[in-house]
Amino acid sequence: MFLNRSLAPLARRVFGARAFSKVCQTPEEALAKSGLKAGDTLTCGGFGLCGIPMAMIQAVNKSGVKDLTVVSNNCGVDDWGLGILLQSRQIKRMISSYVGENAEFERQYLGGELEVELTPQGTLAERLRAGGAGIPAFFTPTGYGTVIHKGGFGIKYTSEGAVEIASEPREAREFDGRGYIMERAIKGEVGIVKAWKADTNGNLMFRGTSRAFNVECAKAAKFCVAEVEEIVEMGELNPEDVHVPGVYVKAVVQANVEKKIERVTVKKVESKDAAPVDPKKAAALAVRQRIVKRAALELKDGMYVNLGIGIPTLASNYLPDGVTIMLQSENGLLGMGPYPDAGKEDADLINAGKETVTTLPGSCIFSSSESFAMIRGSHIDITILGGLEVSQNGDLANWIIPGKMVKGMGGAMDLVACGSRVVVTMEHTSKKGAAKILKSCSLPLTAANCVDMIITDLAVFEFQDGELVLIEVASGVTLDEIRAKTEADYKVSDNLIEMRG
């Protein structure tokens, strides 16, 4: 580099690594510099317990600051992560996509003690990204035709269970013949994120899937504090390896709090001395395998695939010969591999179900907003996920039972609204024998008119030209049984065959 002599003093100031530092000695010092106060909006990175800024959360807890609006994909668990701020009643409103396994979160919400703005995961990531990019609002197909669009969903309940604060309806517009709703950007006064490395100027590097929501939460905040495992001098990070430029980060603090794993999952080792399988469990397993094996036939060589938690995930175990697929996990991983060997699990490498996983050759890791850009942009070929109800119009309900189960929609609304092929796998009836394929869904919708195929333990239905058509029936199952257990109107294919798989 050649510099004009008049610029030499400036160059010494610009490039003097030790002359400029954002390093704080303690999390408390960093929090004090942020100026966090009651009523502020706090953005918090991480996904489940992966990549959470635990030392900074503890500092917020110690500060006693209350009435916070916290923006984070999850709210930790009861005694770790943001869960400790729930316990101390420091959170007034949570803006999240998924409650998860936090019993206190659910109790406070249903009991009228906590405001909860449930937001589709991709929309949440994009609202944060837009906030950091100076974009006030954007249109998305996610949530169109659902309670997110129409409003009226309970953000806060009274202690008697009545809605005290309801969500507002979204402005809707049509683009190229498709419905979209407008979502407002999110900005925070303070952001707390967790990175692997930082230099003294605040340039950040992440490790594994711990990047999820940290990039977006850093950029959306006026004052971002980065909690990191290692701080190096400026110049020690390769510029092309920086995931968040230092311009977004105001303070850096080193902390090495224990990294807990929400769901430790490892490869199963078959044992010759395994106990006999309970007959009821064996029957349930047979039902699941029937569904999974049939679902696997929808996966074609070279596909980019998103598999939902539970039964759908198992489909990758039954790929037809010669079929290779690339699995996408919406927390920021493309090329997801199997569970690790026992003792090899990595707290910084999880899937969307918060399970420990591995990567495969050719895989890549990215931010949450990038993950949902590839989903919303229809770059994922097929999504296979579970369902609570499906209507004869192809509407899907799979994320909430009002007043009973509050988990959140996670990434489901984005995945089924992206225009890619959607396959729903589920048991044909509920545990009480009630039909799940209905004339119209009784539960809040995940998306309207989005399902392409339904695979159950009894049959396979496909939507053809807007009509529900029965195309396959499981061995030993009669058409009369299907009719008795299906409320929806449907046609029987002229080419009806025995269920494959």
As annotated, the active-site residues are 330
Q: Which of 117, 116, 109, 105 is nearest to 159 (CA)?
A: 109
End-to-end CA distance of the chain: 64
Q: Which residues pair with 95 in a beta bridge?
A: 71, 117
Q: Beta 115-118 vs 91-96: how paired, if at all?
A: parallel
Q: Tell me if residue 97 falls in helix, strand or coil.
A: coil
Q: Crossing angle of helices 121-133/368-376, nearest 10°?
A: 120
- Residue in 498, 449, 437 with CA at minimum distance from that of residue 471: 498
Are 492 and 468 within 8 A, CB to CB?
no
Residue type, 370: E
- Among residues 46, 74, 95, 40, the alpha carbon closest in space to that of 60 is found at 40
Q: Give the whole-angstrom CA distance, residue 150 versus residue 172.
A: 10
Q: Which of 457, 463, 470, 460 is nearest to 427 (CA)?
A: 457
Q: Which residues have a Cβ under 8 Å from the Cβ of 273 and sit 6 or more positions away?
A: none
Yes or no: say if 156 and 165 are a contact pair by the CB < 8 Å rule: yes
Q: How far is CA 310 from CA 53, 288, 386, in A?
A: 29, 10, 8
